[in-house]
Amino acid sequence: MPEMLEVEVYRQTAAQSLGRRIVAVDASDAWFLKGGTDEASVVGALVGRTFVTDRRRGKLLLLDTSEDGPTLGLRFGMTGVLELDGVDAIDGLEYSSHRKDPAWERFVVYFEDGGALRLRDPRRLGGVELDPDEERLGPDAGDASLTQLRAVLSESNAPLKARLMDQARLAGLGNLLTDEILWRAGFDPARAAGSLTSDDVAALRRTMRTTLRVLGRRGGSHMGDLQDSRHRGGVCPTDGAVLLRRTIGGRTTYSCPQHQR
Ligand SMILES: [Zn+2]
């Protein structure tokens, strides 16, 4: 599914739509409109305006509009794909089909120059919202300060992995990134979040930033070193131990019993 690295690529793609006059919007899929908005509101808010700023917070893509118009928030759920001017932002991602089935088009913004920004989502778990409440999300995992990360984890008995994936506390990490980061940092995803020492949190933050940078360069959250071992009987690429496969925070989790403590 799209995690923050994929949405970051979507943001860079959407940046190419800035300054282009919006002449029409297809927001006819009522299910896809969130936050109590409807088709007429979305069309009325966007047509005649341009996108002026592209931003991202965690997995939420934000496009501010001209003339004090609203901010458009796009969420990609499990399978959402962003397409600009007929070209997918990311080719060949594993989590979704890149077949261009018109039935999967959930939201389209048409520009005066003939181009269009399309959100395709086979499973329809993403959404579109005007002025989404950004404060309901924690700080972005790529920007979180040490103080912020300590606040996310401290005094919590929740499993470390569940806490890191709680978007209200820390925005952006999904299942694959979290497993990769904890594997690299050597922390057991099931241990209590609050059991990390101050030095542990600092080390985790360093690993988190490095992992995001490296996997971003490689092309996405499925490019981790642990990825090929994510199957029953898979072994740790570092020490050869058979990986544990558990459900933590509701998600299938792979970790090494040998070096993750
Ligand atoms: Zn290991």
Neighbours of 219 (CB within 10 A): 15
- Helical residues (DSSP H) of 30-153, grouped into ranges: 39-46, 146-153
Contact of 118 with 128, CB cutoff 8 Å: no
Cα(171) to centroid(ligand 1), Å: 27
Residues ≥6 apart with Cβ < 8 Å to 25: 42, 43, 46, 47, 107, 108, 109, 110
Cα(186) to centroid(ligand 1), Å: 8
Cα(219) to centroid(ligand 1), Å: 24
Cα(103) to centroid(ligand 1), Å: 44
Say how far apart CA 120 and CA 79 lie, in whole Å: 8
Cα(81) to centroid(ligand 1), Å: 34
Cα(58) to centroid(ligand 1), Å: 28
- The residue type found at 90 is I
Place of tokens 């794909």: 81
Cα(237) to centroid(ligand 1), Å: 7
What string of pLDDT tens digits covers the 261 residues of the chain? 899 999 999 999 999 999 999 999 999 999 999 999 999 999 999 999 999 999 999 999 999 999 999 999 999 999 999 999 998 887 655 556 667 788 889 999 999 999 999 999 999 999 999 999 999 999 999 999 999 999 999 999 999 999 999 999 999 999 999 999 999 999 999 999 999 999 999 999 999 999 999 999 999 999 999 999 999 999 999 999 999 999 999 999 999 999 999
**Assign residue 250 a region: left if phi > 0, alpha if psi is -120 to 50, beta otherwise?**
left
Neighbours of 92 (CB within 10 A): 8
